[in-house]
Amino acid sequence: MKTRAAVLWSTGGKWSVEELDLAEPGPGEVTIRVRASGLCHSDDHNVTGDSQAPLPVVGGHEGSGEVVSVGPGVDRFSVGDRVATFPMPACGRCRYCSSGRSHLCDLSARTMMATAGENARFRFHRGDVGVGAYTQLGTFSEYTTISVEQAFALPDDIPFAAAALVGCGVSTGFGATRRVAPVSPGDHVVVIGVGGVGAAAVQGARVAGASTIMAIDPVPFKLEQAVRFGATHTAHGIGEALPVLREVSWGAMADVVVVAVGVMHGEMLAAQAELVAKGGSLVMTAVAPLVETTVALPLTRFALAGKSLVGNLAGSTNPVADFDEMWRLYRAGQVQLDEMVTRTYSLDQVNKGYEDMHAGRNVRGLVVFD
């Protein structure tokens, strides 16, 4: 079948919206009509070269839609079913899945490192040229064919827009303060960077019962939104935040610090670590350029204070269970998903959406399909 999709052909280029051929679903695959796709910074990292997915690639990995075709052997979904996508597949058999860490499933490395599907099969083509799908999802497309291991049932009462955000940014940010470094009632929390991931981290801390939630971002609009999502204090930078945090925590500092800046650099880590309390956790949620391999960190002080530097992959989310929790919290009004969507765009406006992201105009932009 034919589909219109946003393709990145070269690092430093623009997303090119064009018609592609889309493969029919093979064994264990479904084709979905995409209804919404979040404009996540992870896709843009391929444009800037901070990350380097094999090119050409159809972008998009925060998606939701409807099943229009099922491949051989698929019994989990039928035509017409509503689904949300998730970049991290779970086989249910490896040591990580078996120990409750499905976000680390052995299959995840395949989706992150390769844009072709099983057996190096490209699902998108332009003529004879195979075009990959970012995280093997490619939701910047009217239609996409994906593995059933990356599709999850979406209840009828959950809007496609809200579901798309949960597919990456919300899961990553919310999980940072709920699962990666679980916030306890009364904790002091700092979130650095209030885009989609940071806004979700603020909400996770609020739901967990944090007494102090400080949001740090240089953009005034984003700080206003952070308060809307539950931040109790705001600051434009770490220097401004330090004396306020010392005062409200009686000198203890933050039990959990979530780093959700747009692009991380090693020299930033030392200042971020100063925000962390003894025994506290610094949760690294930001992406750094792959070529950067050094950091600035006062190792002795960090170690003797019992601080932890923790990686965050998709918020340690188990979508089978955690998506259901998110839907319940959304229905109860405890998690604000609709409010996180600042602007919506057509597929042809995808580059404009990323311009707005870089300019700090959005908490989260969203591509919506008719």
pLDDT tens string 40-58: 998 999 898 888 788 999 9
Task: Establish if 237 belongs to a structural domain.
Answer: yes
Task: Establish if 205 belongs to a structural domain.
Answer: yes
Average pLDDT over residues 279-299: 90
pLDDT tens string 178-187: 999 999 999 9
Q: Which helix (H) or strand (E) holds 51?
A: none
Mean pLDDT of the chain: 93
pLDDT tens string 235-258: 999 999 999 999 999 999 999 999
56 cis-preceded (ω within 30 degrees of 0): yes
What is the C-alpha to C-alpha distance for residues 217 and 173, in angstroms, rounded to an integer? 15
The residues facing 259 across adjacent strands are 192, 284
Residue 283 sits in the same domain as residue 357: no
State the pLDDT at residue 119: 61
Residue 243 sits in the same domain as residue 299: yes
State the pLDDT at residue 206: 97
Average pLDDT over residues 308-327: 91
pLDDT tens string 5-16: 999 999 999 999
Task: Establish if 69 belongs to a structural domain.
Answer: yes
What is the C-alpha to C-alpha distance for residues 197 and 219, in angstroms, rounded to an integer? 15
State the pLDDT at residue 165: 95
Task: Establish if 324 belongs to a structural domain.
Answer: no
Asked whether the predicted pLDDT for residue 116 surpasses 80, the reply is no
Identify which of 121, 129, 123, 153 has the alpha carbon closest to the alpha carbon of residue 141. 123
Task: Establish if 91 belongs to a structural domain.
Answer: yes
What is the C-alpha to C-alpha distance for residues 43 and 370, in angstroms, rounded to an integer? 22
Number of folded domains that form the chain:
2
Residue 95 sits in the same domain as residue 21: yes
pLDDT over 70 percentage in the chain: 97
State the pLDDT at residue 288: 86
pLDDT tens string 212-235: 999 999 999 999 999 999 999 999
Task: Establish if 331 belongs to a structural domain.
Answer: no
What is the C-alpha to C-alpha distance for residues 71 and 216, in angstroms, rounded to an integer? 46
Residue 210 sits in the same domain as residue 103: no
Task: Establish if 7 belongs to a structural domain.
Answer: yes
Residue 144 sits in the same domain as residue 98: yes
Average pLDDT over residues 267-285: 95
Residue 271 sits in the same domain as residue 176: yes
- CATH code of the domain in which 214 resides: 3.40.50.720
State the pLDDT at residue 112: 66
Range of the domain at 38: 2-154+337-368
Identify which of 342, 336, 85, 360 has the alpha carbon closest to the alpha carbon of residue 204. 336
Residue 77 sits in the same domain as residue 176: no
Residue pair 173/143 in contact by the 8 Å Cβ criterion? no
- Considering only 31-45, 197-211, 315-329, which range has the smallest mean pLDDT? 315-329
343: confidence class by pLDDT, cuts 50, 70, 90: very high
Name the one residue in this structure whose structure tokens are 């896709």.
Answer: 43
Residue pair 259/192 in contact by the 8 Å Cβ criterion? yes
Better-scored residue on pLDDT, 108 or 16: 16
102: confidence class by pLDDT, cuts 50, 70, 90: confident
Task: Establish if 329 belongs to a structural domain.
Answer: no
The DSSP result for 147-205, as a single string, is: EGGGEEE--TTS-HHHHHHIIIIIHHHHHIIIIISPPPTT-EEEEE--SHHHHHHHHHH
